[in-house]
Structure 1
Amino acid sequence: MSAEVTLRQLRYFAVLGEELNYRRAAERLFITQPALSTAIKQLEHTFGVQLFTRNTREVSLTDLGAAWLPQVRQALAGVDAVVDNLVMLSGTRQGVVRLGYLIGTGADLLFRLVRHFEAAYQDVTVEPIEFDFGDPTAGLASGTTEVAIIRPPVDLPDHRLIMLDSESWVACLPRDHRLAHRTEVAVAELLDDPIVCAPLTAGTWRDYWMAMDVRGNRPPTIAAVAATYEAETTSIARGLGISFTSSSVARFYDRPGIVYVPITDRPPSYTALAWNPTVLTPQAEALVSHVQEHWNFGDQPPADAD
């Protein structure tokens, strides 16, 4: 019988086999419990076996799982040794990675990603560099950064993406706005409102956050241009207009004078790690490979996102 198994599945099995607790294992792996459960079930289904027994109180290895665990540990140790040797020979354990990120984008993801990578590559320093809305490519277009956490769509035709997370759209409204009391709104209800938007240099990203795809022949009324969330929310608190943004912004940029209302009929906004594969330094390539190996994205992005 020929069956495919990934290193990620083997690592998930080994950690769960050690912890025998989905919460603790998921925390060690930097993934969610449902993602871990799904991966283990896929592994079992691939080979037609049961590796764990589960009930509401505990997780335990089956006899087969217990017999296989030391072999998997040995195999993973061998792979890690080979990779470590390659890393040592290529020099990727020394140096700096310039990691760009768009202001307010994946703030919690940034710290998780950097912490996890630097724990594995202790001689590589990640240098996070923040960019405002004027450059939604977070330095990739200019070459200022090698890898970046961005929020597509952006004008980077030669770059690759790893989707890290997805969020829903929300409307940022003045506190006295006619819809501020609502628990949710449709985007069409706000298309006639003046809008606070990004600078023209943001290109397609600016159009995306003005919902240009559903405006038809109704061009937006620009109330103000803002390059940061601070400037954006200040303009909205003054009553100049509204903006469309993401659910994480509602958590990180709340302030007096504004309210955030979920938008029900917009597709998710994705947060992604982006890079140009033709210009990666060994250190940046190590970061990309690390994320590809260890990061789990629960909701699948659009098929053409990568």
Structure 2
Amino acid sequence: MDLHTRKLRAFVVLAEELNFSRAAGRLFLAQQALSRVIREIEDEVGATLFTRTTRKVELTPAGEVFRDGALAALAALDRASAEARRREHTVSGVLHLGHTVGAALELTAPILSEFASRYPDVEVRSHEYPLDEPDSGLISGAADVSIIRLPDSTPDVDTVPLFTEPLVALVATSHRLSGRVSVRAAELLDDPVTLSELEDPARRDFWSLGGFRGPESPATVVTVGSVTEELQIVASGRAISITAAAATRFMPFPGVEYLPITDAPRSVVALAWVGGATPLVAHFVETALAVRDRETDLVSAIEHPHVRS
């Protein structure tokens, strides 16, 4: 027996209507054509499925059994077709996400939540990289996409900004500028500055306020390997640190004050990838930007924080 779905659907419609005229109308068939289809089905099944009189059409006991089977078969086929179409367009796989300390700050959770909602078949494996790996896995290829702070001189890197932040100076409570509401960059140039062992000259220049220094007054650098070590050195008075304003929310530390730098450039948090965006990376970037554009109040609070010492 080789009953195709067109015949089965015609049978089901007639079983529902029990009227050849109405069933034929629903199927956009002539009544004679519908009658011929039903006879072909009965011949193939080998049983009478309907009793017909001039006054009514009824299912026979065999017809009732066949109706139930036909409905189940069609429903199963419809489910299989829908699942096949879904799988054809499903985005799946593993996305390796690298990030520096703080990632995308308060936007991190909304971005990851939205991405999981949009692409439930994608597993996101995130990894925080230390201060001396500011590319967050891009150079090694361990990360498909990273959340980094610019500037960055990684070769062939593509970036798209998420938001910017003002810079602050971390100083000890015993520092000469302690207690100030804000400072200017020029007031900080004589202090040693904490930096990780960065090989990227653009980053070293940015985080040591290089734009305010002349060639005759390079920064004196105190090398640090972690945020905790950096805070301990600042609190001891050995050096200051130039960092983003988010530090006031994410890195409170005894003995350290946070002073906004009124004339410093802003820190840019960006999404970055190397060698062209894969479909997974493109979907993540699209999602992150959509969340950024939707969460305007959150972004405004990040970009224009109320900095307290």
Q: Amino acid of the residue matched to residue 207 of structure 1?
A: D
What is the CA distance between 1:87 and its match in structure 2? 8.2
Say which of 272, 284, 289 aligns to 1:287. 284
Aligned AA (1:211):
L
TM-fit CA distance, 1:163: 1.2
Distance 1:248 1:288 in 2: 22
Note if 1:218 corresponds to 2:222: no
- Answer yes or no: is the 8 Å Cα contact 1:104–1:229 preserved in 2: no
Q: Secondary structure at the match of 2:150?
A: coil
Out of 257, 264, 269, the position equivalent to 2:262 is 264
Shift of 1:287: 1.2
After TM superposition, the score normalised by the length of structure 2 is: 0.64
The C-alpha deviation readout for 1:127-148, integer Å capped at 9, x for no partner, is: 1110111111111122110101
Answer yes or no: is 1:153 the counterpart of 2:142: no
Q: Please tell me the root mean square deviation across aligned C-alpha atoms, in Å.
A: 2.4
CA contact (8 A) 1:99 1:129 kept: yes
- Give the letter aligned to residue 135 of structure 1: E
2:171–2:234 CA contact under 8 A, matched in 1: yes
Residue 90 of structure 1, CA deviation: 5.8
* CA displacement at 1:214 relative to structure 2: 1.5
Offset of 1:188 from its aligned partner? 0.5
Distance 2:86 2:287 in 1: 12
Q: CA deviation at 1:231?
A: 1.2
Deviations 1:150-191 (A, max 9, x none): 100001342222211111010000111010110000010010
Alignment correspondent of 1:207: 205
Which residue type is aligned with residue 221 of structure 1?
T
Residue deviations 1:210-263, cap 9 Å, x none?
A: 1112111201122x2113211110111111110111100121101101100000
Q: Please name the residue that 1:254 is paired with.
A: 252
Distance of 1:246 and 1:231 partners within structure 2: 17
User: After the TM superposition, which of the residue ranges 123-132 and 103-112 deviates more from structure 2?
Assistant: 103-112
1:20 corresponding residue in structure 2:
none
SS at match of 1:295: helix
1:231 maps to what in 2? 229
Cα distance in 2 for partners of 1:104, 1:125 equals 21
Instruction: Find out whether 1:115 has 2:113 as its counterpart.
Output: yes
Deviation beyond 6 Å, 4+ runs, structure 1: 84-87
CA positional deviation for 1:294: 4.6
Amino acid at match of 1:122: P
- Can you give the 5+ residue segments of structure 2 that lack an aligned partner in the other structure? 1-82, 304-309
d(CA) in 1 for partners of 2:191, 2:205: 16
Percent identity of the aligned residues?
33
Q: 2:107·2:292 contact (CA, 8 Å) conserved in 1? A: no
Question: Structure 1 unaligned runs (5+)?
Answer: 1-83, 302-306
Spell out the pairing of 1:112-151 with structure 2 (5 A cutoff).
112-151=110-149
